[in-house]
Amino acid sequence: MSSSENGAAPLLEVQDLVVRFSVRRGLSGAVLRRPQRYVHAVSGVSFTVARGEMMALVGESGCGKTTTAQAVLRLVEPEAGTVRFDGIDVTGLGPGELRRLRRRMQIIYQDPYESLDPRFRVEATVAEPLVIHRISSRNERRDRVKRALEQVGLSPPGLFTNRFPHELSGGQRQRVAIAASLVLQPDLLVADEPVSMLDVSVRAGILTILDELRDRGLAVLMITHDLSTAARFADRICVMYLGRIVEEGPAAEVIANPRHPYTKALLSVV
């Protein structure tokens, strides 16, 4: 049972989040002193994610879902709104405090071919977050790397620790990326289109890993354009359209009784 179901405070709480990007004016705009224009990528978005819950933010490319996830982690700066993580106002943290908090908030990127440094062996890749945050001795780092690899199904770990990314399949690369996110033992995992770059044959395995992590108490914010994936794995769904959440609810309810025309349109192509 998630904290949202038993009445406990949510782990992640986003309220009225706004992110906008300036539009380049060009030389003529500068000379003529035209007013600065902005694109509102995220407009007043609010949602929560509980411990042990997978919440899917669903929408087509360009709807603002990835920008929302980046703003949650302060990878882009929000224009307005608040992001609270375990009661802490993330938007008000200084660099040092934010760095420490990020140990508990990790992200899996969309493209496993780009997210792994081709110069690093698997062991070094998974251990890198521990090195950056100056956590553990060398021997303890090795133990934590092995445990993380076992968590994502790369077992026995010794078969993989000395490999380079080009020696792995796409699915194995994404498992390594997930292991690198888990090695810090975070409370929140943001999965940004974690299977969209993978073959259909390996997608289910990656999603099952996320499902198992959720069952162990990890909060998962999944970003996806695929409503069928969200329906199968998420506890709740938020549908985004043009920077706004247009529908939200338990996954089964959203799928069975969609209210917004955009949600209905997404379901029509599933």
Q: In this predicted structure, what is the pLDDT of residue 236?
A: 97
Q: Which residues are CB-neighbours of 19 under 8 A, at least 6 positions away?
A: 40, 41, 42, 64, 67, 68, 71, 76, 77, 78, 79
Q: Say which residue, 148 or 33, is predicted with more confidence.
A: 148
- Report pLDDT for 44: 94
Q: Report pLDDT digits (tens) over 51-67.
A: 999 999 999 999 999 99
Beta bridge partners of 220: 54, 189
Average pLDDT over residues 27-32: 54
Give the residues across from 82 on adjacent strands. Answer: 15
User: How far is C-alpha 141 from the geometric centre of its chain's CA atoms?
Assistant: 24
Q: What is the pLDDT of residue 113?
A: 81
Query: Which pLDDT belongs to residue 142?
Result: 93
Question: In the chain, what are the domain boundaries?
Answer: 12-25+35-268
User: Do residues 38 and 23 lie in contact, with contact meaning Cβ atoms separated by under 8 Å?
Assistant: yes
pLDDT higher than threshold 80 for residue 33: no
Q: What does the pLDDT average to over 81-104?
A: 94
Q: What is the mean pLDDT of residues 210-229?
A: 94
Is the predicted pLDDT of residue 6 greater than 70, yes or no? no
φ, ψ dihedrals at 147, nearest 5°: -65, -40
Q: What is the mean pLDDT of the chain?
A: 90
CA 242 to chain centre: 19
Tokens of 161: 């620790």
Give the CATH number of domain 12-25+35-268: 3.40.50.300
Question: Per-residue pLDDT for 22 more than 60?
Answer: yes
Joined tokens for residue 199: 């073959």
> Around 207, how many Cα atoms within 13 Å sit in the side-chain half-sphere?
22
pTM: 0.88
Q: Return the pLDDT at 216.
A: 93
Q: Above 50 in pLDDT, residue 1?
A: no
Summarised one tens digit per residue, pLDDT across range 235-257 is 999 999 999 999 999 999 999 99
* Phi and psi at residue 117, to the nearest 5°: -70, 120
